[in-house]
Amino acid sequence: MKILALETSAKACSATVTEDGQVLASCYQNTGLTHSRTLMPMVESLLKNADLSVSDLGLIAVAAGPGSFTGIRIGVAAAKGLAFAANLPAAGVSTLYAMALGLRHMNGLIVCAMDARRAQVYNALFEAKDGKLTRLCEDRAIGLADLAEELRGDPRPLIAVGDGGALCQRALEEAGISCALAPARLVHQHAVGVALAAGELAETGALTTAQNLSPVYLRPAQAERLRDRIKKENAT
């Protein structure tokens, strides 16, 4: 089955087509341009250059979160539109799990990190051993200081990955905890991981429809937090 996967959770934007776990075509851009400008032209070019059409696909996948609120909304909206128009199933995968898949060949504790601001990261922990990943906690927003205390004393090699990987590595090192950063070619989120995660969901029948595909936010958007704060202040 051919899978078109989209990744728009952070600054970088990417799209990939895989078939049975093998990458057929892939496109990646990290130029700071908005995903609303780059994603669909990227998808159109990718399919054209691979001599494919949407009708050749069997599944549309997207990194559904956590991540940038705007980025996630753009990616999910695009995936919903593509899946709905072609009457294809959809898969919304964890951004953190998708990025960890790129490091499953590296034995150690994979520390997935996306910058969530306010000294926090969106985070999940996975043990990578013999090419397999074991999830150790659910996706979460956690303070860097709290994460450091949780990891203190863990004997496994720590490997930080994600757009917040360097931030996380620095915080851990400052706390006296040794942590390596994933190789440069693997440190950022990529649609290849999204496609691989979606393939796993397809094998277990855990897919969804375009109508039911939705973003996953681990905390309210800044505008919602500001609104709630104003309401509390007005109430007092």
Residues 137-146 have pLDDT tens digits of: 999 999 999 9
- Stronger pLDDT, 150 or 218, i.e. the higher one: 150
Non-local CB neighbours of 63 within 8 Å, separated by 6+ positions? 6, 7, 8, 9, 72, 75, 92, 93, 94, 95, 98, 189, 191, 194
List helix spans (H) across 127-221.
Answer: 144-151, 165-174, 191-204
Residue appearing with tokens 């959809």: 90
Q: 86-109 pLDDT, tens per residue?
A: 999 999 999 999 999 999 999 999
Average pLDDT over residues 3-14: 96
* pLDDT confidence of residue 228: 46
CA angle (16, 164, 21) in 5-degree steps? 25
